[in-house]
Amino acid sequence: MEYRKLGRTSSQRKALLRNQVTALLLHEKIVTTEARAKEVQKIAEKLITMAVKEKDNFETVKVKAKVARKDKDGKRVKEEKDGKKVTVYDEVEKEIKKDLPSRLHARRQMLKVLYPVTEVPKEGAQRKKNTRKIDLAQKLFDEIAPKYVDRKGGYTRIVKIGPRRGDAAMEVLLELI
């Protein structure tokens, strides 16, 4: 199998491609050079194909979970036991999606390629507190795959923008269709 070396060592190239695939799936479009876009496109198409094949391969299971009781301000309720303050927990029944083995394997294959993503709110107040992790594998299964169920490949599109000003490399827009 031939691939472009992109003028980088193998570890740098792998990191670059993983980063761009992650950005493409998170934002659904990226601007990059033509050579990079063609390499990113190969990887992204495989991930989307995997997600489309396994999107309905789960079962819903009811589980009991302990959840901390909270007051009206959203703070945990504590009560005194043996001179110590202890959080009060309630038992709640939840329905969760449990992956079947083939979907679990697909999820792990995706996570080998995708970087973990943390979303930081734009406004400065409590930036650290309000961050949240985005599960890109879950996004692939729940949001992206249903769009492409009736499509046999060709999930991305490359649109040429023009030469880059600094080095005249052809810049393109790589987007999910």
In the predicted model, what is the mean pLDDT of the chain? 91
Give the pLDDT confidence score for residue 176 in this predicted structure: 93
Rounded to an integer, the average pLDDT of 124-150 is: 86
Contact 147, 52 (CB under 8 A): no
Q: Is the pLDDT of residue 177 over 70?
A: yes
Q: Phi and psi (nearest 5°) for 162?
A: 145, 175
- pLDDT at position 154 is 92
- Residue 8: its pLDDT value, please? 94
Q: How confident is the model at residue 140 (pLDDT cuts 50, 70, 90)?
A: very high
Local confidence band at 126 (pLDDT 50, 70, 90 cut-offs):
low
Q: Which pLDDT tens digit goes with each residue over 70-87?
A: 888 888 888 888 888 888
pLDDT of residue 1: 67
**Res. 124 pLDDT band, cuts 50 70 90:** low
Q: Calculate the alpha carbon distances from 96 to 59, 87, 103 in Å.
A: 8, 25, 15
pLDDT digits (tens, 9 = 90+) for 38-72: 999 999 999 999 999 998 888 999 999 998 888 88
Domains defined along the chain, listed by start: 10-56+101-176 (3.90.1030.10), 58-99 (no CATH)
Place of tokens 């060709």: 154
CA–CA dist 99, 75 (Å, integer): 33
Residue 89: strand pairing partners: 68
Specify the pLDDT at position 43: 95
Taking the C-alpha atoms of residue 142 and residue 99, their distance in angstroms, rounded to an integer, is: 13
DSSP run (H or E) holding 19: helix 10-27
